[in-house]
Structure 1
């Protein structure tokens, strides 16, 4: 893939990460565990797990946004660094959203056929959490499709360089 295409993709990902960080920050800054419990009585530990996952996702997105900014602002565009960053974003941000390590929620692949949101909590959660996940899902899905190339391309390059 040419330098200009990689740079354009990196700029698009940077824009996605910027809006994602803002949305996650707003939610996490404005939402407390007590508010979630008041909104919908449920398992406090499960709500803590969800909030923890959202904070981890926010940190991954912030770090990735910083990496994109550094590469884009550099005097000479480093295609290799950009591709490695896009690969890392795919694994740390996109995959963490669709399949969090501690299973706070899951992706229901059958939902793609019904036109419904595919991110499903394992247990009942307040509407504020459902709305946040639903609001983020479309852009995460779009980015996943955009960045899948780097998943296979970067791995292939790493294997060939050995």
Structure 2
């Protein structure tokens, strides 16, 4: 059976506290096999019959909502898809802990990206680049020091997202096989 990673947003932030053990158990109760969490912040490896990633994401979003009572955006990727995301990183010269991929719940519109870039001018040293259903961000001075926040990004892009740094994505890919 194919192996996937689910990247869940809104886990352990804003009151949505959830242990990885609870998350694993919820997935297993729904018949999902080979469930394993990685990096303890909403990264779940699992096996499932081959199916489009979007359909799997919807199923996992429903499980989280049904079992835990909050809405979580879920991105599902195969090993090949994750490998492509990492390879497409335009900031390979940056620190892997500071370069993030913001996975989006839909396609990134070029006009919205231009608005984001314009609105961000003068706010900080971050570098931004468009990806396929993703935004690459080099938080050169670190995430904690950045004024480029989730709400700022979501308002300008009109999309929800969940971010992971390149170092974490590489660790996930290694475990995904």
TM interval, short-chain normalised? under 0.3
- Structure in which a larger fraction of residues adopt strand: 2
Q: TM-score, normalised by structure 1?
A: 0.26
Pair member with larger Rg? 1
> Which structure shows the higher helix fraction?
1
